[in-house]
Structure 1
Amino acid sequence: MPSTLDYFFAPHSPWTYLGHARLVAMAEAAGATVRLKPMDLNQVFPVSGGLPLAQRAPQRQAYRLVELARFAKHLQLPLNLQPRFFPVKPDDAARLILAVEADQGTAQALAFTGRVMAAVWAEERDIADAAVRADLLAAQGLPAALLDAAQAPEVQQRYQAFTQEAIELQVFGAPTYVVDGEMFWGQDRLDFVERALAR
């Protein structure tokens, strides 16, 4: 029986960006069902011991840049270590991803998620800007009306519900993958995710 993979992520997370394409390919190869669950890290961090980047110790911030560069080179993915629009407010982009999924299905939403993250980390674009989000929709051939759909109360309710679910599952960072109830934190755990999907 194919696995189910819950994908807890934040659309401005560089680590989610680095793992996204591999995750999508793994899930497709395994025939797994992916359930997209964007979450608000500003709510997750305070209850899990996490800190926003600017509040972390200098040595942690410095090593983060080393690791980002290391993984980007290894994976051959374009990545600006300190992009112009970061930190960036991700909530509108997260809600838009959910609106895309509701209207177009999970495959389109996964592809759009990749576009959003590449906009931040490869293209230095501001995903908090509605015009940028409209351009990203257009580039994928998606209707501009989804910008308005993303503001609907039910979309915010889903976003909040996924955030609360993450907190209850003791998720503490992005990305977190849950395969048939087993949790894996970080794109550097994708080898283990692949094995779990193959079981």
Structure 2
Amino acid sequence: MAHIDYFFSTLSPYAYLAGTRMEDVAAKHGASITYKPLDILTLFGRTGGTAPNDRHPSRQEWRAQELDRQSKKLGLPLNLKPAFWPTNAAPSSYAIIAAQSAGGGDLGKLVHGFLAAVWAQDKDIAQDDVVRATLADAGFDPALADSGLLAGAETYARNLEDAVARGVFGAPFYITDTDQRFWGQDRIADLDMYLSGAF
């Protein structure tokens, strides 16, 4: 059975624009998924990237245009200047890690719920009430927001090291069990083709 390691940040607009299409592709091919939330700004610093607010104005302008185009293309509403961005991604990331360990809900819905909270709903995913509500909406016990914080912190740090070691430099980033790497929500169709045996 195929497997996908999914590296992402709960602050990434491009991970938001991925929606749950990767989950659909995985289901189509019977592939399992391991969700690996990480600290994207630290990843940028370690792999030659630059934080969005520190990029040259021409890159910032292109990014704004591209995000607007992609959101319209995909039918996903997106606020280019969300009220709570950037914010602390750790609480939402720890909740995803805890939910993945506990099981019982829809992880794809949980991840997309946090991303939509930032980019479409102007909610602060660092706040406990937002984390709990998002967990509950995806079918998980809201109390997971309180449990496994130490394990969550350790896994969150380990995900970053794993990402650097395996060639991840942005988000969303998908790696198959055959070490095929796909960067960006606009490469999900290529991931589908690869799992189909097209290349």
Q: TM-score per shorter chain, which class? A: over 0.9
> How far apart, in 1, do the equivalents of 2:159 and 2:143 lie?
24
- Residue of structure 2 in register with 1:10 after alignment: 9
2:132–2:143 Cα contact (<8 Å) kept: no
Q: Deviations over 1:87-128 (max 9, x none)?
A: 1221111111011111125x6222211111111111110001
Tell me, what secondary structure is at the counterpart of 1:190? Answer: helix
Matched, 1:177 2:174: yes
Task: Identify unmatched segments of 5+ residues in structure 1.
Answer: none
- Correspondence for 1:110 among 108, 111, 116: 108
1:98–1:109 Cα contact (<8 Å) kept: no
**Deviating runs (4+, > 4 A) in structure 1?**
none
Matched, 1:156 2:153: yes
- Correspondence for 1:165 among 162, 185, 192: 162
User: In the TM superposition, what are the counterparts of 1:74-93 in structure 2 within 5 Å?
Assistant: 74-93=73-92
- Residue of structure 1 in register with 2:135 after alignment: 137
Displacement of 1:150 in angstroms is 4.2
Displacement of 1:137 in angstroms is 2.1
- Correspondence for 1:124 among 113, 122, 125: 122
- Residue of structure 2 in register with 1:62 after alignment: 61
Output the aligned Cα RMSD.
1.3
2:8–2:36 Cα contact (<8 Å) kept: yes
> How far apart, in 2, do the equivalents of 1:14 and 1:55 lie?
16
2:107–2:138 Cα contact (<8 Å) kept: no
> How far apart, in 1, do the equivalents of 2:39 and 2:94 lie?
11
Question: For this pair of structures, how many residues does the alignment match?
Answer: 196
Q: Deviations over 1:27-54 (max 9, x none)?
A: 1111111111111113211111111111
Calculate percent identity across the aligned residue pairs: 35
TM-score, normalised by the number of residues in structure 1: 0.93
TM-score, normalised by the number of residues in structure 2: 0.93
Moved more, 123-132 or 140-149: 140-149
Question: Structure 2: which amino acid aligns with 1:87?
Answer: P
1:39–1:163 Cα contact (<8 Å) kept: yes
> How far apart, in 1, do the equivalents of 2:98 and 2:60 lie?
33
Task: Identify unmatched segments of 5+ residues in structure 2.
Answer: none
> How far apart, in 2, do the equivalents of 1:141 and 1:40 lie?
25
> How far apart, in 2, do the equivalents of 1:155 and 1:52 lie?
24
